[in-house]
């Protein structure tokens, strides 16, 4: 008896401490016993269950069928759930559902058949499963939406799964790449081995995150592209390595943008240097040309005159050279007007067809409804000629040149790839050839002045440089794309102007070459040689001349009572006051004094309308005596002495 009691006590202790709910019922479904875990699971105390049908722990649909299950088993022996575990849903005392795993056993005692149900609460498991499902869905969403190629490999670095972006970047269908080694994605096997061997272990990743590596990859179609890659080891819960993950970003666009930015910065620096050199060179040419013109009337010997003319021609070629340099440096004065590129392209192309050779086809593809733009027509024509002749030279055995116009709308991403351009609307002129093309190291320097791959005497290296400078000074940009063996395309982007834009050509009036009538000219020039020559040239034209070396001296002279008819001033001068600032002060304080500005480059005076706003004339160095006579006379005769000082402004 004691042994039986002890066994019962031990059994009861086991049942009471069990975390699983245990219920014993008879063949009618009446509860005879329930352990404490039942209350924790369903909310019913044992006393509430004893003597009642176990169906009270079930939702209505299952409760109605439960007694039938028992009766059918007793009649047929069909086990259904006897000895077979299954997942079912119970019902808590508060009416909530309780997911559980149910196993049923049977025994007989005193001729009565009993069933014991062992129930495991699955609520925590279900919660965990839902959390895992959410996390998996989140991971899948991230995996699918990441714009970079994301791959998972096994320990042998064979690809097991890849995201959709991988297919877009590398060109593979999802199933094509599974099982293939990730090294097959690299352009060079040696590069693949080098980078894969450097994939860090988990410990090293935690100590110091891996820096991205740049490598060359290959798409399914064989195209190479630069990629930024990060590798990482994957370990399971037991800290055992199970594979690797890799993230590969196509950085083609970023590298192009960086290259374009570096090129633009380099050209900007070269432009600053070039502009200064051209300005100084123009001062020298001014002295040379001016003295030659003063000397010419004094010579009567034909041989000497021939020599003098040769020197003048050489000086004029030097002036043309500085014009190219100033165009590149964006310091050339533009005669801008509203133009249609279509008509200009067609006209210039008709002329060029006669000179480029019979073995070259020149096609013009004008855009319909092309927008208007504002630019210097002469420089546009020069740009077209330079580009077409460059294209011709790239096709020594013949080929095809296409000159095309089109409208372009640049959004933020497009403008990002073309440094110097803002978001907006542009008119694009492109010249394409199918010639030799250029390697990248040559293409990157193509816009630099004096850079040329042509032989001696076959090119100055200033054609593309002047095209670039013209485009930048016009508020646009020039770009070049070239592939060896395929050809080259140069594009000029010019800002769109409205069709009703009233800006017209500034024009230059051709006037007779009058002499002075003894008017006083105040010459302001810091270069002593140029200043001395200026005095001689103006005196020869019939003017009285006072000369000073800077703007401060000029202002002091006027403050002391000097009243010249015109101030003839250089643009770039020492002393802190430029010729332009001097002009502003004079127009504000002494509008009766005309101003003639001379310069080797226009610098900030790019817009002819701005020059007109100050009512001043501009004479570009180096200038001929005839041009000096004409322009200084115009400055005096057209000066409006009644203009109010308030209307003057500095640009």
Q: Are residues 263 and 237 in the same domain?
A: no
Cβ atoms of 229 and 248 closer than 8 Å: yes
| Residues 10, 95: Cα–Cα separation, whole Å | 34
214, 292: one domain: no
pLDDT band at 270 (very low <50, low <70, confident <90, very high): low
Give mean pLDDT, residues 96-102: 92
Work out the average pLDDT over 332-339: 69
Is 140 a domain residue? no
> Which range has the worst mean pLDDT, 27-31, 298-302, 493-497, 535-539?
298-302
Per-residue pLDDT, averaged over 328-333, amounts to 47
**CA dist., res. 563 & res. 522, Å (int):** 9
Domain holding 373: CATH number?
A: 3.30.565.10
Q: Do 488 and 527 lie in a common domain?
A: no
Mean local confidence (pLDDT), 253-282: 64
What is the structure's pLDDT at 328?
A: 46
Mean pLDDT of 481-494: 89
**At 500, phi and psi to the nearest 5?**
-95, 15
Q: How far apart are CA 318 and CA 286, in angstroms?
A: 11
Claim to verify: residue 353 and residue 461 sit in the same structural domain: yes
Alpha-helical segments (H) within 101-237: 123-145, 164-170, 189-197, 202-207
- pLDDT confidence bin for 143, thresholds 50/70/90: confident
Lowest mean pLDDT among 212-216, 288-292, 344-348: 288-292
Contacts of 499 (CB under 8 A, 6+ apart): 371, 372
Residue 47 forms part of a structural domain: yes
Domain that holds residue 584: 520-647
Please report, in angstroms and rounded to a whole number, the separation of the first and last CA atoms in the chain.
Answer: 117
- Max mean pLDDT range (383-392, 494-503, 608-617): 383-392
Interval 313-324: pLDDT, tens: 777 766 666 665
Q: What is the per-residue pLDDT for 56? A: 92
Q: Is the peptide bond before 221 cis (omega within 30 degrees of 0)?
A: no
State which of 223, 250, 277 marks the end of a domain: 250
pLDDT band at residue 649 using 50, 70 and 90 as cut-offs: very low
Order of all β-strands in the sheet with 31-34: 31-34, 21-26, 112-121, 97-109, 86-91
* Cα angle 93, 97, 102; round to 5: 95
pLDDT of residue 515: 83
Last residue within a domain, chosen from 250, 273, 295: 250
Residue 602, pLDDT above cutoff 80: no
If asked whether residues 372 and 465 sit together in one domain, one would say yes
Say if residue 535 is in the same domain as residue 642.
Answer: yes
What CATH number should be reported for the domain holding residue 158?
Answer: 3.30.450.20
Q: Which of 374-388, 438-452, 509-523 has the highest mean pLDDT?
A: 374-388
Same domain, 156 and 243: yes
Answer yes or no: are the C-beta atoms of 591 and 582 closer than 8 Å.
Answer: no
Mean pLDDT of the chain: 78
Per-residue pLDDT at 637: 86
pLDDT tens for each residue of 158-206: 888 888 888 888 888 867 888 888 878 887 766 665 555 555 544 454 4
Closest among 186, 179, 180 to 216, alpha carbons compared: 186
Total count of residues recorded for the chain: 651
Do 424 and 495 form a contact (C-beta atoms < 8 A)?
yes
Residue 515 placed within a domain = no
Q: What is the number of other CB atoms lying within 10 angstroms of the CB of residue 319?
A: 20
**Range with the poorest average pLDDT among 9-23, 36-50, 225-239, 551-565:** 9-23
Contact 637, 625 (CB under 8 A): no
Domain annotation covers residue 510: no
Structure letter (DSSP) for residue 209? P
Angle between helices 341-352 and 377-393 (to 10 degrees): 40
Residues 342 and 314 in one domain: no
What CATH number did the domain enclosing 543 receive?
A: 3.40.50.2300
pLDDT score of 348 more than 60: yes
Would you say residue 264 lies in a domain?
A: yes
Range from 183-187, 397-401, 551-555, 601-605 carrying the lowest mean pLDDT: 601-605
Q: Which pLDDT value is given to residue 304? A: 76
* Of the residues 195, 221, 250, the one at which a domain ends: 250
Does residue 503 sit within a domain? no
Cβ atoms of residues 251 and 227 within 8 Å: yes
In the chain, the percentage of residues whose pLDDT exceeds 90 is 16
Closest among 163, 170, 175 to 139, alpha carbons compared: 163
C-alpha 206/C-alpha 202 separation (Å) is 6
User: Helix H segments across 373-520?
Assistant: 377-393, 412-416, 440-443, 463-473
Are 350 and 470 members of one domain?
A: yes
Same domain for 308 and 364: no
pLDDT at 507 over 60: no
pLDDT in tens, 414-458: 777 787 788 889 999 999 999 888 888 888 777 776 666 665 445
Question: How many structural domains comprise the chain?
Answer: 5
* Same domain flag for 265 and 295: yes
Do 213 and 272 have their domain in common? no
Structural domain contains residue 502:
no
pLDDT tens sequence across 12-64: 777 777 788 999 999 888 999 999 999 999 999 999 999 999 989 999 888 88
Q: Is 311 contained in some domain?
A: yes
Q: Residue 648: is its pLDDT beyond 70? A: no
pTM of the predicted model as reported, rounded to 2 decimal places: 0.42
């Amino acid at each position: 008896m004691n042994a039986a009691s002890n066994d019962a006590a031990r059994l009861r202790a086991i049942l009471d401490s069990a975390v699983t709910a245990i219920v014993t019922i008879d063949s009618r479904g009446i509860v005879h016993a329930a352990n404490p875990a039942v209350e924790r699971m369903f909310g019913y105390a044992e006393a509430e269950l004893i003597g009642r049908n176990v169906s009270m722990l079930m939702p209505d649909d299952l409760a109605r069928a439960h007694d039938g299950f028992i009766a059918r088993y007793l009649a047929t022996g069909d086990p259904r759930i006897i000895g077979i575990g299954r997942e079912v849903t119970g019902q808590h005392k508060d009416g909530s559902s309780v997911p559980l795993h149910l196993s049923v056993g049977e025994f007989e005692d005193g001729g009565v058949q009993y069933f014991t149900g062992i129930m495991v609460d699955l609520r925590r498991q279900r919660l965990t499963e839902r959390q895992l499902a959410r996390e998996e869905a989140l991971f899948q969403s991230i995996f699918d939406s990441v714009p970079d190629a994301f791959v998972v490999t096994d320990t042998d670095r064979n690809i097991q799964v890849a995201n959709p972006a991988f297919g877009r970047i590398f060109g593979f269908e999802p199933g094509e790449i599974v099982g293939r080694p990730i090294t097959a994605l690299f352009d060079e096997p040696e590069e693949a081995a080098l980078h894969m061997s450097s994939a860090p272990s988990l410990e090293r990743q935690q100590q110091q995150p891996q820096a991205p590596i740049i490598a060359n990859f290959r798409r399914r179609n064989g195209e190479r592209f630069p990629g930024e890659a990060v590798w990482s080891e994957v370990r399971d819960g037991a800290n055992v390595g199970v594979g690797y993950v890799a993230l590969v970003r196509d950085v083609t666009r970023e590298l192009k943008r960086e290259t374009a930015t570096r090129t633009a910065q380099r050209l900007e620096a070269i432009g600053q240097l070039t502009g200064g050199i051209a300005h100084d060179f123009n001062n020298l040419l001014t002295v040379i040309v001016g003295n030659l013109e003063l000397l010419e009337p004094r010579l009567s010997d034909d041989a000497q005159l021939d020599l003098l003319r040769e020197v003048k021609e050489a000086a004029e070629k030097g002036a043309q050279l500085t014009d190219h340099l100033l165009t590149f440096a964006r310091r050339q004065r533009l005669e801008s007007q509203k133009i249609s590129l279509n008509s200009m392209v067609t006209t210039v192309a008709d002329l060029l067809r006669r000179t480029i050779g019979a073995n070259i086809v020149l096609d013009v593809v004008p855009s319909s409804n092309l927008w208007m733009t504002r630019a210097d027509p002469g420089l546009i024509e020069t740009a077209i000629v330079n580009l077409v002749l460059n294209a011709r030279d790239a096709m020594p055995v013949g080929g095809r040149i296409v000159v095309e116009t089109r409208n372009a709308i640049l959004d933020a991403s497009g403008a990002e790839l073309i440094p110097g351009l803002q978001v907006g609307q542009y008119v694009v002129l492109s010249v394409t050839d199918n010639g030799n093309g250029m390697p990248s190291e040559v293409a990157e320097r193509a816009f630099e002045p004096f850079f040329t791959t042509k032989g001696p005497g076959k090119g100055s290296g200033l054609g593309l440089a002047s095209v670039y400078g013209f485009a930048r000074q016009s508020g646009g940009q020039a770009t070049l794309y070239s592939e060896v063996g395929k050809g080259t395309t140069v594009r000029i982007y010019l800002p769109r102007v409205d069709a009703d834009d009233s800006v017209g050509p500034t024009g230059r009036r051709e006037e007779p070459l009058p002499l002075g009538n003894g008017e006083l000219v105040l010459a302001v020039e810091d270069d002593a040689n140029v200043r001395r020559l200026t005095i001689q040239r103006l005196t020869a034209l019939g003017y009285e001349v006072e000369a000073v070396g800077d703007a401060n001296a000029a202002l002091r002279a006027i403050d002391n009572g000097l009243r010249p008819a015109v101030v003839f001033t250089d643009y770039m001068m020492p002393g802190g006051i430029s010729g332009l600032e001097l002009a502003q002060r004079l127009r504000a304080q002494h509008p009766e004094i005309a101003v003639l500005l001379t310069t080797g480059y226009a610098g900030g005076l790019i817009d002819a309308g701005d020059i007109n706003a100050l009512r001043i004339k501009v004479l570009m160095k180096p200038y001929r005596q005839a041009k000096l006579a004409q322009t200084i006379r115009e400055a005096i005769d057209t000066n409006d002495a009644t203009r109010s000082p308030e209307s003057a402004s500095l640009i």
